[in-house]
Amino acid sequence: IKNIGVFTSGGDAPGMNAAIRSVVRSATYYGFDVTGIRRGYEGMINGELFAMDRKSVSNIIQRGGTILKTARSEQFKTPEGRKLAYEQLKKHNVDALVAIGGDGTFTGARIFGQEYDIPVVGLPGTIDNDLSGTDFTIGYDTAINTVIDAVDKIRDTAESHDRVFIIEVMGRDSGLIALRTGIASGAEAIIIPETKTDLNNLCERLEHSRKDKLSKIVIVAEGEDAGGAFEIGRHVKERFPHYDTRVSILGHIQRGGRPSCMDRVLASRVGVAAVEALRDGHRNEMVGVIHNEISYTPFEHACKHTVEINPAFLKIVEILAI
Ligand code: F6P
């Protein structure tokens, strides 16, 4: 390997810049050239490639978003798109890749790595934390802290008005943001895609938890199966006309902001490990951290959506909402 290409793809996540910095600096340290690729697979296809050095990543470790920009590419899903991407890599002498993203990114990387003789390793970059093969993904810690900051603020007004708030958080197919932030914000209930939602049961919970208190918080993961936060809000309003119910969708605020210390350290750690993995002959694997040790997980396992919800967490919510 002489020249490592690095890119971010899919939804951005705080800490992606720290990961880019780590890949560029460690590749330089080990004597590789580095090529930055803008806008993920889309930019790879369009030839948005440029040389990077240690100075290109100065003063970015603390910044949210991604300096390389990101995109979700439809073209890369086609063999023709991937062929164009490979031709661009050849043209720019890129002979290995570090892909920073989530399951869509790794699905693309796995297919690409099978079709073409180019080693690819991945770094887990998504606020959703929905990848197997790492305890935490880059961006998750920052996102959940952003969420609890917002929910704390909503609670101030909820308490003042004695209102019920249904708050929707991100996590397309995963309730992991909802689960932790629900516990940390003292929510009365959490609704997540991993468990079947019973709205009658939710209403009973609301009725029986903290009887002396009219203000309640329900955290809803966007991917749940009850029709979304507004539908849940409508149901609660219908059942309890005496509750003053409001719905709040936190949205993309969860993806922005300065990365937390934990995300910067995780990104720096797996960035170095990714370059070392390429040097040592790894390919088609995601580099993560499990039990504080670097781990390597084949792309197909990392994206299997097998991240399990710990039922003890749900029980904690129930117990503490007494
Ligand atoms: O995967 C990260 C994520 O923020 C999900 O939680 C969310 O469902 C999705 O991306 C939103 O994507 P977009 O910004 O493309 O609408």
DSSP one-letter code for 208: H
Catalytic site residue 212? no
CA separation for the pair 297, 303 (Å, rounded): 10
Which pLDDT score, from 0 to 100, does residue 211 have? 76
226: which residues sit within 8 A by CB, 6+ positions away?
Answer: 191, 197, 199, 220, 232, 235
Best residue among 170, 179, 224 to mutate for probing ligand 1's pocket (most ligand atoms within 8 Å of CB) is 170
Q: With H, G, I as helix, E, B as strand and everything else as coil, classify residue 59.
A: coil
- Find the 130 Cα to ligand 1 centroid distance in Å: 12
Which pLDDT score, from 0 to 100, does residue 209 have? 80
Sheet containing 244-249, strands listed edge to edge, beginning at the edge strand earlier in sequence: 189-191, 216-221, 163-169, 244-249
pLDDT in tens, the chain (322 residues): 999 999 999 999 999 999 999 999 999 999 999 999 999 999 999 999 999 999 999 999 999 999 999 999 999 999 999 999 999 999 999 999 999 999 999 999 999 999 999 999 999 999 999 999 999 999 999 999 999 999 999 999 999 999 999 999 999 889 999 999 999 999 999 999 999 999 999 999 898 887 778 899 999 999 888 899 999 999 999 999 989 999 999 999 999 999 999 999 999 999 999 999 999 999 999 999 999 999 999 999 999 766 788 999 999 998 998 8
List the catalytic residue out of 12, 128, 130, 263.
Answer: 128
DSSP one-letter code for 72: -
- Find the 133 Cα to ligand 1 centroid distance in Å: 21
CA separation for the pair 7, 284 (Å, rounded): 15
**Residue located nearest, by CA, to atom 2 of ligand 1:** 11
Output the ligand 1 site: residues, CB below 6 A.
11, 102, 126-128, 170-172, 222, 255
Distances (CA, A) of 292 to 93, 134, 295: 35, 9, 9
Which pLDDT score, from 0 to 100, does residue 308 have? 82
Which pLDDT score, from 0 to 100, does residue 306 have? 67
Decide the pairing of beta strands 216-221 and 163-169.
parallel
Residue 171 labeled ligand binder: yes
Comparing CA positions, the residue from 250, 217, 41, 300 lying closest to residue 127 is: 250
- Find the 12 Cα to ligand 1 centroid distance in Å: 8
Handedness of CA 219, 222, 223, 224 (dihedral sign): positive
Comparing CA positions, the residue from 274, 290, 294 lying closest to residue 282 is: 274
For 211, counting Cβ atoms within 10 Å of its Cβ (0-12 exposed, 13-18 middle, 19+ buried), the class is: exposed
